Structure 1
Amino acid sequence: MTAEDEALPGGMMNAGAVFRRGDVVERPAPRNARALHIHLRALNEHGFDAAPTPLGLTADGHEQLTFIPGDVALPPFPDWAMTSSALASVGSLLRRLHDTSAAVATDTRAEWLPDLADPQGGTMMCHNDVCPDNVVFRDGRAAALIDFDFAAPGRAVWDVAMTARYWVPMLDPRSAAALYPRGLDAAARLRILADGYGLSAEDRTELPGVIEQATDVCRAFVARRVVGGDPVYLEALAERGGWDRWDRMRTWLVDHRRTFTAALLN
């Protein structure tokens, strides 16, 4: 780091390790960075300009990407990021990504990170981590996605489910209150996200169950890091209510499945 470097906040995995110098962002490279850079360039070549452009890899294990100007919501999430129009724009941006990804050949030989990937797999590359920290806003609308580290082949409905977990959010009110504005109507917001995306009737029927599945995958993701002694996840687990919180979230999702399905379809 030099005096010219600006540390960029946000994220858990790379907290304190992402820096900006002018129009270039430098951050730790994921182990599949070469394949990921090829994918990001292909997205750009197919007209998706709402993601960073890879510039290269350094000898000390970092990647360099173009900086995308705008606003990123960091926890506790501000009101401006949780408006209905902001939520709809996240769905629309995700649909743009998926439409472009469907036209890009997926490298099935690459070792895509399995941590948050769709257990059922798929042929289209999903982002898998469209949380508020990874969406750049301009003028109140989602303008770009960053941090594609967990991208992997999967189903579109899986990526929508993962996005819903973070943006609706699909959390019981007690859990949501720790990071989100109070009074958010989960069922109504799930419908707004699905409408913004243009989700099909078939996928709307399936979505609540896929969200439950995605929650289980996220819990397993945290459990692996806790077992491995990762201090970031150990601290986060303790601060956010431990495993009781995850049990409470799962029960709440199951108890409200019919409500969510009705909101999506009616």
Structure 2
Amino acid sequence: MAGEVPDDTGPFRLPDARIRSATTLIRSFHDATAGSGLCAGQEVVCHGDLGPHNTVFRGERAVALIDFEDDVGPGRRLDDFAQAVWGFADLTDAAVPLAEQARRTRLMCDVYGGVTPPAVVEALTARFRRAHDQHLAAGLPGAVRVFADLLTWMARFGNRIADA
């Protein structure tokens, strides 16, 4: 696929034009799968790992989602979208000002439509809790610490993202 996948070299990874374009592509992907047999009775097919690292751009335009692997499956669009917000809005990144994280979250919610920042915060917190508990059950202390830190961040700052 011709294009560029952004590297992960620092904060403010993407300009708003790329965030808008990627959000529109994600919405189109969800809408295209909604009601299909691939949903297995769920709302949409979820990518499971949406973010800049799995998006191909040509200039400012997002042209493809890549890396459809283990996490792909039926689910709720909100859960998949919240994962995307985590990556594209640089949520939980200490190098990015909280106000900027909140602004980007609001931008993505507005472009996607029908989703609010409080819903994103709730979905991400639930995702982090599930991952924490799964890693705890699997005896993976390093991963448990990562998700415990993410849960602490959400408890401390999630309300400021939700109020965006």
Does the alignment reach a TM-score above 0.5? yes
Identity, in percent, stands at: 28
Cα distance 1:83–1:237, how it changes in 2: closer, same or farther (>3 A)? Answer: farther
Deviation at 1:139, TM superposition (A): 0.7
Rg: which structure is higher? Answer: 1
Counterpart check, 1:187 vs 2:102:
yes
Deviation at 1:83, TM superposition (A): 0.8
CA contact (8 A) 2:79 2:123 kept: no
Q: Give the structure 2 partner of residue 248 of structure 1.
A: 153
Cα distance 1:132–1:156, how it changes in 2: closer, same or farther (>3 A)? Answer: same
Q: Give the structure 2 partner of residue 220 of structure 1.
A: 130
TM-score by length of 1: 0.51
Aligned with 1:247: secondary structure?
Answer: helix
> Hey, which bits of structure 1, 4+ residues long, moved more than 6 A?
none
Give the Cα–Cα distance (whole angstroms) in 1 for the partners of residues 35 and 127 of structure 2: 27
TM-score by length of 2: 0.78
What letter matches 1:208 in structure 2? P
- The answer to which structure has the higher helix fraction is 2
What letter matches 1:247 in structure 2? T
Deviation at 1:89, TM superposition (A): 0.8
Cα distance 1:250–1:72, how it changes in 2: closer, same or farther (>3 A)? Answer: farther
Q: Give the structure 2 partner of residue 196 of structure 1.
A: 111
CA contact (8 A) 2:5 2:53 kept: yes
Deviation at 1:237, TM superposition (A): 7.0
Question: After superposition, where does 1:39-50 map in structure 2 within 5 Å?
Answer: none
Give the Cα–Cα distance (whole angstroms) in 2 for the partners of residues 170 and 190 of structure 1: 8
Cα distance 1:215–1:157, how it changes in 2: closer, same or farther (>3 A)? Answer: same
Cα distance 1:245–1:98, how it changes in 2: closer, same or farther (>3 A)? Answer: closer
Deviation at 1:100, TM superposition (A): 1.0
Q: Output one character per residue of 1:180-208: Cα deviation in whole Å (capped at 9) or x when no partner.
A: x55761232122212332x13xx33xx41
Give the Cα–Cα distance (whole angstroms) in 1 for the partners of residues 19 and 63 of structure 2: 12
Deviation at 1:168, TM superposition (A): 1.1
Q: Give the structure 1 partner of residue 3 of structure 2.
A: 70
In the alignment of these two chains, the number of paired residues is: 163
Cα distance 1:146–1:253, how it changes in 2: closer, same or farther (>3 A)? Answer: same
Counterpart check, 1:104 vs 2:75:
no
Give the Cα–Cα distance (whole angstroms) in 1 for the partners of residues 124 and 138 of structure 2: 21
Question: After superposition, where does 1:49-88 map in structure 2 within 5 Å?
Answer: 68-77=1-10, 79=12, 81-88=13-20
Q: Output one character per residue of 1:21-40: Cα deviation in whole Å (capped at 9) or x when no partner.
A: xxxxxxxxxxxxxxxxxxxx
Q: Give the structure 2 partner of residue 164 of structure 1.
A: 85
Q: Output one character per residue of 1:121-153: Cα deviation in whole Å (capped at 9) or x when no partner.
A: 823212221122111111122211112221222
Q: For CA contacts below 8 A with separation 6 or more, give which structure has more relative contact order.
A: 2
How much is the aligned-residue C-alpha RMSD, in angstroms?
3.0
What letter matches 1:169 in structure 2? D
Cα distance 1:132–1:176, how it changes in 2: closer, same or farther (>3 A)? Answer: farther
Cα distance 1:256–1:135, how it changes in 2: closer, same or farther (>3 A)? Answer: closer
Q: Output one character per residue of 1:35-69: Cα deviation in whole Å (capped at 9) or x when no partner.
A: xxxxxxxxxxxxxxxxxxxxxxxxxxxxxxxxx23
Q: Give the structure 1 partner of residue 72 of structure 2.
A: 151
Deviation at 1:103, TM superposition (A): 5.1
Q: Give the structure 2 partner of residue 137 of structure 1.
A: 57
